[in-house]
Amino acid sequence: MEKKLISYNVNGIRAAKRKGFDAWLAETNADVVLIQETKAQPEQIEEEVFSDLGYHCFWHSAEKKGYSGVGILSKEKPLHVEMGCGIDYIDFEGRIIRADFDDYSIMSVYVPSGSSGDARQDLKMKFLGDFKNYIAGLLKEHPNLIIGGDFNICHTEIDIHNPKGNKDTSGFLPEERAWLSSFLEIGLKDSFRSVYPDLVDRYSWWSYRANARANNKGWRIDYQMVSEAMQDRINDADILKDAMHSDHCPVQVSLK
């Protein structure tokens, strides 16, 4: 039986709901939905909207209100849910949550943006180093691992609309792209590129400025990374560009 797994930076779960996120979710009927940037504390989320659709709901929020936050919606009840990763500065910002099932584990991650200045870029690079080490260890315990989320990095030139113009921009810096290559080398596959290695003009985020989305001037910064142990289970992958509840769109992987 195929499993449909979606990852979506909703840029505020309450704002997304006002734009019809729950109706879209009912129609999509995914097995698991990974959510990033909830911008809400658990008590601020209308959980019954999702439980009425058959989802078990789990949230890991930032301590700072209205900021960051991740979640997992799952039709199947997980055996275990891990809130955070045990690294204080990461968990303080509510950036990682994981659900374990019989035959796989799945994580929602929201990598910090470095676009607001040098201090946040430095924190982003620290996060990337610590996150890679954490995942390398986790793969030994949970070899059947899927990591979905907003990585805030375009990997290659075909993942961004203007590679030359953005070569010095956070999210497409050489050191960030090199990190993403090294991250995949610990035993992960970019599910979209494993199915569509050369497909161009497929993006998951667009600036709100200059009519970027209408002109498809975007970045592919949202991923579903699938461990090599599960690579043979990848059936298809997609970027759901018609979902309009955020400045991002959902990314999907289907597993056998």
Known catalytic residues?
Answer: 110, 150
pLDDT at 1: 82
Percent of the chain with pLDDT over 70: 100
pLDDT at 154: 98
Q: Average the pLDDT over 118-147 and give the result.
A: 98
Which residue type is seen at 114? G
Of the pLDDT bands very low, low, confident and very high (cuts 50, 70, 90), residue 122 is very high
- The pair of three-digit structure tokens given for residue 23, joined into one six-digit string: 């109706």
**Hey, how many other C-beta atoms are within 10 angstroms of the C-beta on 117?**
9
pLDDT at 27 over 90: yes
CA 126 to the chain's CA centroid: 19
pLDDT at 156: 98
pLDDT at 69: 98
Give 221-234 pLDDT, tens digit per residue. 999 999 999 999 99
Q: Report how far residue 32's alpha carbon sits from residue 30's, in angstroms, rounded to the nearest whole number.
A: 6
Q: Which residue, 247, 254, 253, is CA-closest to 37?
A: 247
pLDDT at 72 over 90: yes
Q: What angle do CA 135, 141, 146 make, to 5 degrees?
A: 55
Q: Average the pLDDT over 131-159 and give the result.
A: 98
pTM score of the predicted model: 0.98
Q: Average the pLDDT over 58-78 and give the result.
A: 98
Q: Average the pLDDT over 130-138 and give the result.
A: 98
Instruction: Count each helix (H run) and each strand (E run) in the chain, helices first.
Output: 7, 14
- The pair of three-digit structure tokens given for residue 123, joined into one six-digit string: 């924190």
pLDDT at 215 over 90: yes
Q: Give one word for 211, left, alpha or beta, with left for phi > 0 and alpha for psi -120 to 50.
A: left
Give 172-208 pLDDT, tens digit per residue. 999 999 999 999 999 999 999 999 999 999 999 999 9
- The pair of three-digit structure tokens given for residue 120, joined into one six-digit string: 């946040």
DSSP E strands: which ranges in the chain? 3-9, 32-36, 56-60, 70-74, 80-83, 96-100, 105-110, 145-150, 188-190, 205-206, 218-219, 222-227, 234-239, 251-255
Q: What fold is seen in the domain 3-255?
A: Deoxyribonuclease I; Chain A (3.60.10)
Of the pLDDT bands very low, low, confident and very high (cuts 50, 70, 90), residue 121 is very high
Is the alpha carbon torsion for 238, 241, 244, 250 positive or negative? positive
Question: How do the domains of the chain map onto residue ranges?
Answer: 3-255
